[in-house]
């Protein structure tokens, strides 16, 4: 279909390779469920051979998620391909995505292989993958730094062996839109059998060109774009799915194509990934940043009031936002709160509504205004908490700190129904409260990452904290929220301990 671009989401595979973006099995399934609701065409669920945890997550997504094609990544090696085959068995629609490096620098220094050896490995890998599944994608890694004639030969060979999608990755974010477009046109023209396959783009954002490069391939006949929610990924990240989708939708006059994505679920998906991974979305981020539909300039405000199209090329509603912020406060009732949560795209359970509403009342007593972002944050946190057996629960805490004293914290926790208290000093208020929690629980896993970010603006803004803990080979991410930064950190740390 020449007017249709497939969206291949790799948030769960390439996105998770972003430093600190750890996801539990349940969290991966939760994201996959939302991707299915968004009508993503292909979900790259993971790299099955890389670890038993990855294998299990891919297998569970293959079993539980319906709608999209479920894809597993595999190097051009038999163990990788067999692991992908086994993990994908439950899926109704499945794809194996196999790859091997094709650039001179990668073949020489990473693989230690000659071009002829790489060509043969690629052939055998695709042939084996086709024995397992009918849908096979092949990627020549670091394609944009590869020799074009070798790429032509390589792509032609894997098409002969049955590859159905050819992905041309800009693995290190090196190319430019014109150069990438020219490469796609060259391959589509010169490769025998090019008319039988879908050509795909997979771009990294090292030079800030991932979205521009991906869109350029559409003009050159590419009909699949590989991307992640919020653009998360290794180094500077990947192509941002929300930006590609809205660019194709808003500028259909320029690109002449469509996607199947339900764009009204974009904001919900962005917040879900941000909350689960702890990767903060910059306020001026296109489409999903806090300021993406904000107008502060008097001239802009005047124009928008008269006609929204003066300064808005797309509507907030098109990405799942409301054009005007509905402010809730301490006098808002449970029914109004529930209605707001549902209209924001959540599907709440009765107990989640009850717990989140009680948290909302606590926040409303502390803040002048409670915005949609606050509600989304506290409700997502409540969902996260409901998925974990709460062995440890915060009852209360006290702190002493100042410029001329060592910070100290007293904390009271409920542990399996019994209240226990502890006290500790530390190098700062956050350190002291973490040590106090450790003193009470007797646990001291490695704290590898702490991220604190405001949900909205102002000194009374609610804060979200994300804590990554490591215990041996296990790594978990805990979340917490409060208008008090220290309390948010304590809740996040306790949530992580519960996950451990």
How many degrees, rounded to 5, is the angle at CA 238 between CA 153 and CA 83?
65
Residue 238 marked as a ligand binder:
yes
**Which neighbouring-strand residues pair with 44?**
71
Residue 389 marked as a ligand binder:
no
Residue 498 marked as a ligand binder:
no
Cα–Cα distance measured from residue 426 to residue 416, given in angstroms and rounded to the nearest whole number: 27
In the chain, the largest separation of any two C-alpha atoms, in whole Å, equals: 75
Residue 202 marked as a ligand binder:
yes
Which residues make up each annotated binding site? 14, 202, 204, 238
Which residues make up each annotated binding site for Mn(2+)? 14, 202, 204, 238
């Amino acid at each position: 279909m020449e007017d249709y671009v497939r969206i291949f989401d790799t948030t769960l595979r390439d996105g998770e390779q972003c430093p600190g973006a750890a996801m539990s099995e349940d969290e991966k399934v939760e994201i996959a469920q939302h991707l299915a609701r968004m009508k993503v065409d292909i979900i790259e669920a993971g790299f099955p051979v890389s670890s038993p945890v990855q294998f299990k997550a891919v297998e569970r997504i293959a079993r539980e998620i319906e709608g999209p094609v479920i894809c597993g990544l595999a190097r051009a090696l038999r163990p990788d391909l067999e692991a992908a085959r086994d993990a994908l068995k439950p899926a109704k629609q499945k794809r194996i995505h196999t790859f091997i490096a094709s650039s001179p620098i990668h073949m020489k220094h990473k693989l230690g292989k000659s071009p002829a050896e790489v060509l043969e490995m690629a052939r055998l890998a695709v042939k084996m993958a086709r024995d397992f599944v009918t849908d096979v994608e092949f990627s020549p890694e670091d394609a944009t730094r590869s020799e074009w004639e070798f790429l032509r030969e390589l792509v032609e060979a894997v098409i002969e062996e049955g590859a159905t999608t050819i992905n041309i990755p800009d693995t290190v974010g090196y190319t430019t839109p014109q150069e990438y477009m020219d490469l796609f046109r060259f391959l589509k023209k010169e490769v025998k059998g090019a008319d039988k396959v879908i050509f795909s783009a997979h771009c990294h954002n090292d030079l800030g060109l991932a979205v521009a490069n991906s869109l350029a391939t559409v003009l050159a006949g590419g009909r699949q774009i590989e991307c992640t929610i919020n653009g998360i990924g290794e180094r500077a990240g990947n192509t941002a799915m929300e930006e590609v989708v809205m660019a194709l939708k808003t500028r259909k006059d320029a690109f002449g194509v469509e996607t199947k994505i339900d764009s009204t679920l974009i904001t919900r998906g962005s917040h879900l990934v941000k909350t689960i991974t702890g990767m903060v979305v910059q306020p001026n981020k296109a489409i999903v940043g806090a300021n993406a539909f904000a107008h502060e300039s008097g001239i802009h405000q005047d124009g928008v009031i008269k006609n929204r199209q003066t300064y808005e090329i797309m509507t907030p509603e098109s990405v799942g936002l409301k054009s005007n912020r509905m402010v809730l406060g301490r006098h808002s009732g449970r029914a109004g709160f529930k209605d707001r949560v549902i209209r924001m795209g959540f599907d709440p359970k009765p107990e989640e509504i009850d717990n989140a509403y009680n948290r909302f009342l606590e926040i409303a007593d502390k803040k002048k205004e409670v915005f949609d972002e606050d509600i989304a944050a506290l409700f997502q946190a409540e969902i996260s908490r409901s998925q974990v057996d709460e062995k440890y629960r915060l009852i209360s805490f006290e702190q002493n700190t100042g410029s001329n004293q060592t910070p100290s914290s007293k904390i009271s926790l409920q542990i399996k129904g019994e209240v226990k208290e502890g006290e500790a000093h530390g190098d700062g208020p956050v350190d002291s409260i973490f040590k106090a929690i450790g003193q009470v629980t007797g646990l001291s896993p490695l704290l590898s990452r702490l991220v604190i970010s405001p949900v909205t603006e102002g000194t009374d803004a609610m804060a979200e904290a994300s804590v990554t803990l490591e215990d041996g080979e296990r790594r978990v991410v805990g979340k917490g929220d409060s208008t008090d930064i220290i309390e948010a950190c304590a809740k996040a740390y306790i949530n992580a301990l519960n996950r451990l």
